[in-house]
Chains A and B, each alone.
Chain A
Amino acid sequence: MHVSKDKTGLYGLMAEFDSAQGIVDASMKAVAAGYSKMEAYTPFPIEELNDIIHKKRTNLPKLVLFMAFCGMMTGFTLQYWASVIEYPMNIGGRPPATWPAFIVPSYELTILFSALTAAIGMLALNGLPQPYHPVFNVDRFSLASSDKFFLVIEAEDAHFAKDQTSSFLQSLGAKGVYDVAE
């Protein structure tokens, strides 16, 4: 069914919407029409859009949990090694391996490692910082961080055909449809 694939230098087609409800409805219809390589851009988080378009949730929490364990072990082994093996000190006859005293730094390092993983992991999984992305070639896209909502169907999508996709996006109630140069 792929006709007139005019994709040279084209990243995709971008449709502009005025409302949050508008882009949610449009995304659902685009998914129903069989498009899969697309992305919605919004000025604030709309959690439903990820469920509609990507249908999968991030692995970030598992990564954070793993690093939390690493942080805890780092904290504990650091203190155990320094206080028991490398530099044991007799303080009032107490044993060197005073594990209750080691809880606080272990706890703090657990949180430190997890928080850094949550922040850096989020950026890394998102591929940020990213100095260039084709969507910024569209002038109207600067409103995506203020009050407009954009849906981009990428040229790589199996169902993508420039003219049909463009009229499909128009039919969803888009305020405008723009070519996104690669």
Chain B
Amino acid sequence: MAQHVYAQQSATTLEHPVIGPGQDYESITEVVSEIPLGKRYPFGWIIGLLIGLAGLGALQLAIGYLLLKGIYIWGNNVPVGWAFDIINFVWWIGIGHAGTLISAILMLFKQQWRMSIARFAEAMTIFAVACAALFPLLHTGRPWLAAYWLFPYPNTMGLWPQFRSPLIWDVFAVSTYATVSVVFWIVGLIPDLATMRDRATSNVKRVVFGALSLGWRGSARHWHRYEVASLILAGLSTPLVLSVHSVVSFDFAVSVIPGWHAAIFPPYFVAGAIYSGFGMVLTLAIPIRSFYKLEHLITMKHIDNMAKVMLATGLIVAYGYGMEAFFGWYSANQYERFMLWNRMTGPYAWSYWLLIFINAVLIHVLWFKSVRYNLKYMFVLSLIVNLAMWLERFVIIVTSLHRDFVVSSWDMYSPTAWDFMMFGGTMGLFITLFFLFMKFVPMISIFEVRTLLPEAKVHVPHGHDTHGSGH
């Protein structure tokens, strides 16, 4: 049976290769391990890291001033009590979802093309979640006090968090998501760190990689437990990632604000997260594969598949917009109807129509193979998708809040320079972490890609008992 499946898979990989021709174990290992082990610090990499560090500096400044002055330095007001802080939180956490989709859900579906992009997509997840987590923490103004509102620990005041609040569910969901993503990523790294240890030429690297690889030696029994653990982690990450953005959507859907109180929010948020996440994976993968000459490992087949996932999830999101509009009308509720009318024709109508144009109209170019196979178009489109998904959160949050039930409380929202500095700063944090990752960690899962080679398939003669007793 297993042989049959392999035969089918290699037949499909021949037609659309997920790995370039002429590769062997050594060539794959060499091209990936050369980056962390080599002494080369390419000029482009240094420039990228410096840009990231500049952003990181801005972030520190923005956080420092915020802690000094409080959140009034932001543009948030009454009634727009949630603005850039929550927009950026949802945007970043959504981006992370593609990494988990690639590393976990596609693993369960035995999609072999995921193997060469899983490692850095997962790194993207972890760094995006780190950026996301800053916002809810800092929007409390005094994060050191937020500890006892958010985490259930026995404090001297005898206070406990309000477990009926979606905001507390969010704390559990996001912190679990961050922890499990890091654990899954580290487990996936162990065999490749052992490869780094064995190939390192400098003593420092040998000691560092030796300690990090935990003495991994690749024995059959270890690999067996390792594969079982990876499969379990994938099986756990799958419901986890779907729950995380559902819970994020509960932050809105459980409230009674028109435009937020909608049952379609959880699936619509999850699809939007995966859509924007694949946009970010493409934004990262397209330059990386050409900069580090990894075209034979991250092939056009990968770009094509990711474009298709983007098209599918983008259409789900567009359906979500349609349903939002339909139920706004069908509810026959004057506040719901006004909210929609205000979104479409009010002062922020430009953001709504730009969003609809990108996610419901422009996305259809992905039906064309000539677009999916054109790297320049795909790169530009991936940036546009990231912008559109940011706009989506802006539309949902700001247009729903700024004109609520009572006309006397209406107001306009405009972000301040500190808002932009904080947002740009998290991009700096992301870029810094990603550039460090690219240089010091093998960014493609070497051992998994080895299994894609035809010579990695083994044949066990029929009749040989290979099924152990279920001990």
Contact = CB atoms under 8 A, between A and B. Distances in A.
**Top 3 nearest A-B pairs by Cβ distance?**
A147-B25, A122-B229, A50-B224
20 contacts: A21-B459, A24-B460, A42-B223, A44-B450, A45-B223, A45-B447, A48-B466, A50-B221, A51-B468, A53-B220, A54-B220, A54-B468, A57-B471, A82-B161, A108-B176, A115-B184, A126-B222, A128-B216, A133-B217, A145-B198
Interface stretch (B131-139, B235-243, B389-397, B400-408): B235-243
A55 interface: yes
Interface residues of B, number: 74
Interface stretch (A5-13, A136-144, A159-167): A136-144
Given A40-B220, A78-B152, A119 B214 contact: no
Given A51-B468, A105-B163, A107-B243, A126 B228 contact: no
Given A24-B460, A109-B176, A111-B176, A60 B199 contact: no
Contacts of A43: 25, 29, 195, 218, 447, 450
A56 B262 CA distance: 50
Given A53-B220, A119-B187, 19 more contacts: A42-B220, A43-B218, A44-B447, A44-B450, A45-B224, A50-B220, A51-B467, A54-B220, A54-B468, A56-B471, A82-B161, A89-B162, A104-B243, A105-B163, A114-B236, A115-B180, A122-B225, A129-B215, A145-B198
Nearest to B456: A20
B227 A115 contact: no
Contacts of B166: 104
Contacts of B217: 41, 133, 135-136, 141, 144
B188 to A, nearest CB: 10
Contacts, number: 222
Interface of B: 24-26, 29, 152, 158-164, 166, 168-169, 172-173, 176, 179-180, 183-184, 186-187, 191, 194-195, 197-199, 214-229, 232-233, 236-237, 239-240, 243, 247, 250, 447-448, 450-451, 455-461, 464-471
Contacts of A102: 163
A158 interface: no
A44 B451 contact: yes
A111 to B, nearest CB: 5
Interface of A: 19-21, 24, 28, 39-61, 64, 75, 78-79, 82-83, 86-87, 89, 91, 94, 98, 101-102, 104-105, 107-109, 111-112, 114-116, 118-119, 121-123, 125-126, 128-133, 135-136, 141-147
A56 B233 CA distance: 21
B232 A51 contact: no
B158 A98 contact: no
Nearest to A142: B198
B240 A20 contact: no
Pick from B221, B469, B470 the residue with the most CB of A within 10 Å. B221
Chain A contact residues: helix, strand, loop or mixed: helix
Contacts of A24: 458-460
B471 A108 contact: no
Given A98-B164, A104-B173, A115 B183 contact: yes
Contact of A114 (B158, B197, B232, B467): B232
A49 B183 contact: no
A57 B460 CA distance: 18
A49 B228 CA distance: 14
Contacts of A56: 468-469, 471
Contacts of B221: 39, 50, 53-54, 126
